Structure 1
Amino acid sequence: MWALIILSPSKNTGVFVLLFCALSLSVYFLLPLFKKKLPITLILLAITYMYAFLFEEKLMPFFVLLILLYKLESAFYLSPLYFRSLLIGVNIILIIYLVVTVESASVLASLFILILLLFYAFWYLNTHYFNLIHQSQLYEQLIDEYRKVKRYAAKNEKAIRMEERTRIAREMHDSVGHKLTALSMQLEILLMNEKNDVLQSMKDIVNESLEETRKAVRALNMDDVEGISSVIQLIRKLESESHLRVHFTTKQGALSLTLSNQNSITLYRVLQESLTNAMKYGQSREVFVTLGTTPLGHLYFDIRNSYDHMKPFHEGFGLKNMKQRVEEAGGTLEIYQLDHTFIIEGSLP
């Protein structure tokens, strides 16, 4: 089809010009589908130059704009080395054509200045664009390395903590536990020989101490973390595994509150669901989490993130389940949207 257009005796008619531009632009719009874009760009520029310079009697402004469009677009997908070579070659051909065809020295000088300005503009655009891409790639690599380091630090900290807890539990079991067991046996022997209320009271105290020691050892060997510390670990985990940035604030009295096992799990699940929703639906990666106390001494929590969707939110399964879980624990939960901000706030006894 291109050969028919170029070799047609009526190639300068409006119909053939439009047909040529349609074919040229169709290839241009299909350009993202090609892996190697340099050969396609060279073909487009070569055919456009051929039709505009060799087969047209005058340099048509439309073809000049078409050539500028191809050069501008190639600045965003050709590497600086290829683009600079292409830019120099295209401008050399254009300058040769102008020297041959333009007779007025003033017009030729003006065109030279324009070509020079466009040359530097395209050169700067390509260089600046690929510098930004390179910086973006370096930033992404840095963020990935940062997340890996945070994950490694979290795992290492957990391993060290568990190792220390195991060491303490072992020492308590081997020293305090054994000595209390030996003391209990000696008191039992004394009671077998002589019934005495004082000795029985001492034996009961020793047995209670031994049972408390066993509970402490079992607690140290457990890997579960409850209360506010579980929330902090959850935030650290999500920050290390995603781009989420959590601004965590604790007000006076929040860290000293004692939560039951049920309320600790409820608080953990509420924070987990809220931060997951922020990652899925939030406009930014920033979440603001605040923990405090109510006048009644209950734990108060407030989670906020940006929400700029045109449609108002609706309570799906996750939010409904979250609300039901808090109410079953004896707390309250409110979910609402205010000035492009999604807010979840509530309290737990």
Structure 2
Amino acid sequence: MATVFPLLRDTVRRGLSAMLCSTYAIGGAAAQGASPDIPEADGILPSLSALWVIPERLRLRYPDAVETPEDQIEYDRRFPLRAQDAIDRGFSLPQPYGLSIMGIDNRQEQSISNLAVALGRATPPPPGTDLVSIPFVTLENVISDTDSVSVKGDVWVLPNINVFATLAQVDGNVDLDVVVDPADVLPPALCPPFNPCDPVRATFRAGVDTLAVTLGATAVYGWGNWFTSGTLSATASFGENAETTIRSYNAGARLGRRWSYGQGNIAAPYVGLNYFVLDQTVEGVTRLNDAFPNGDSLEVRYRADVQNIDRWAVALGLNLGFIQGYSLTGEYSYSANSDRFLLSASYRF
């Protein structure tokens, strides 16, 4: 067991940390600040009053009375594309660029299975070495508890399409039970059917230290004071010792309503769903220092399958947008085996 437990700790740390990073872009797609006297109307652009900061000189006119502005308005920003067409039809346009800082606290259960290893003394087994499966070792109650800090940049490339990129540093711990079934290891004489051996269980805690990069896009639509958005994103996570770039995918939908208050501020509560997929084989090398009497290390090349248990989660959030271009978003996501809280501060320019 001395050669197995260190391997299991590092394997879990790398596998779970990728899962924890992948859903962070979704919460940033909620509503942001707008002008106070935007009328209710159906269509794409009215919803942006809950998602964008509207410049004073480009206030939204009522789209049911489509007419060319009396004074020609020249839009001088590169994005969004087709901006001038929207302005000429009587619509306003948002500030196209955004920067956000997000903090996330996440607790989640995952599954790690089909562990296989190759061992080396002082020198890691080379790539391509045949790995030996160890089915008598299982990992149960794999629960991660992590905190992350993310920086997000975004741009509205079309009046209803936003693209974004997020860089996240994830730190925390993973608690897990390592269970060894002696009946699969010892000869039948030592574990007879009439007197079976009980499984040996030990609890471990592993650290998480992962960098994750997310790319995604959000589409919006609105009617009256209501808005809806949908987000697709993909995340690549990089662990300290993993040789595999762990990829995960996320889809999210939000539905909410905006209220104006104060001097041009917006409050926009919303509900939503997240769908997250992580199902990948992870490979890498880990080390147990001073494993032998002469001080040599035990080098372990490993392979394991990592999956998330709950793919669906519900979300409840609130965005507060301010006329100066700043906004704050809080969101709570929940499923049977996970919960997550996100807090984001953003600025549009």
TM-score (norm. length: structure 2): 0.16
- The structure where strand makes up a greater share of residues is 2
TM-score relative to the length of structure 1? 0.16
Which structure has the larger Rg over C-alpha atoms? 1
